[in-house]
C-alpha cells in the first residue's frame, strides 16, 4: 500500500509574516508588474531581502498580470522568491481567472525548481482590493486542483497577516473537505 500510495500535498493556513518563513523553500511576493518594492507583502519581502532582490528581479520585468517569475531570495531565509502579479480587483478581468493563474504559475515555477515547500500571501487582497473570502476560495481551489500533478512541491502554506484572514482561509479550506494542516490527497479523477 505504501509503495503505491499517491504523494500528498499538505496545505497550511497560518497567521504570520511572509518575510519570516524560514522553513519553506520559496516565498511568493504579491508584486506589481515592475517588481519594485511597495507596501504590504512586497515591502516586507524587499526590506528583508535587501537591494540585491530588486537588482536580480528588475531585468525580468514587466511581468503580466497572472504571471510569475522566480529569483534568488538574497537576505531572506529561503532559497527563492517567486514574484507574481495579482489582478487589481474591479479592473483586471476575469479576476478569478487571473488570480488562479497567479497560483498556478507560482506552483509551476516552484515545481520546476524542484522545491518541496512554498508559502503564499493572500495575493491581491491588500492594495489590489480583492475580497478575502473570494480570494481564499479561488487560491485554495487552484492549489487543490494542481496538487495531484506536482512532482516536488509537498507543502503549500498560506501566510495571512491578520487572524481574521487566517480564519477565512482556514474555513475555506475546511469547506473543501480538508482540515487545516491536513493533507490534500490526490483527487480521484472519477470523483470529479
Integer Cα distance of 190 and 87 in angstroms: 33
Among residues 62 and 177, whose Cβ is nearest to ligand ADP? 62
Among residues 127 and 185, whose Cβ is nearest to ligand ADP? 127
Relative to beta strand 80-85, strand 26-31 is: parallel
Among residues 65 and 71, whose Cβ is nearest to ligand ADP? 65
Is 41 near ligand ADP (CB under 6 A)?
yes
How many positions of this chain bind ligand ADP (CB under 6 A)?
A: 21
**Closest separation in Å from C-beta 174 to ligand ADP:** 20
Is 122 near ligand ADP (CB under 6 A)?
yes
Please give the residue ranges that form the binding site for ligand ADP (CB under 6 A).
17-19, 30, 39-42, 44, 86, 121-128, 159, 161, 165
Amino acid at each position: 500500500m505504501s509503495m503505491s500510495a499517491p504523494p500528498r500535498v499538505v496545505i497550511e493556513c497560518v497567521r504570520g509574516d511572509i518575510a519570516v518563513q524560514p522553513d519553506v523553500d520559496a516565498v511568493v511576493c504579491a508584486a506589481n508588474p515592475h517588481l519594485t518594492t511597495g507596501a504590504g507583502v512586497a515591502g516586507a519581502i524587499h526590506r528583508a531581502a535587501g537591494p540585491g532582490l530588486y537588482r536580480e528581479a528588475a531585468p525580468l520585468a514587466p511581468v503580466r498580470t497572472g504571471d510569475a517569475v522566480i529569483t534568488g531570495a538574497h537576505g531572506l531565509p529561503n532559497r527563492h522568491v517567486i514574484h507574481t502579479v495579482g489582478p487589481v480587483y474591479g479592473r483586471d478581468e476575469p479576476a478569478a481567472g487571473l488570480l488562479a493563474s497567479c497560483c498556478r504559475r507560482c506552483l509551476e515555477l516552484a515545481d520546476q525548481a524542484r522545491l518541496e515547500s512554498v508559502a503564499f500571501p493572500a495575493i491581491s487582497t491588500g492594495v489590489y482590493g480583492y475580497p478575502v473570502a473570494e480570494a481564499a476560495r479561488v487560491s485554495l481551489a487552484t492549489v487543490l486542483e494542481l496538487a495531484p500533478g506536482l512532482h516536488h512541491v509537498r507543502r503549500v502554506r498560506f501566510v495571512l497577516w491578520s487572524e481574521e484572514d487566517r480564519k477565512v482561509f482556514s474555513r475555506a479550506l475546511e469547506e473543501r473537505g480538508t482540515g487545516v494542516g491536513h493533507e490534500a490527497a490526490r483527487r480521484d479523477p472519477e470523483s470529479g
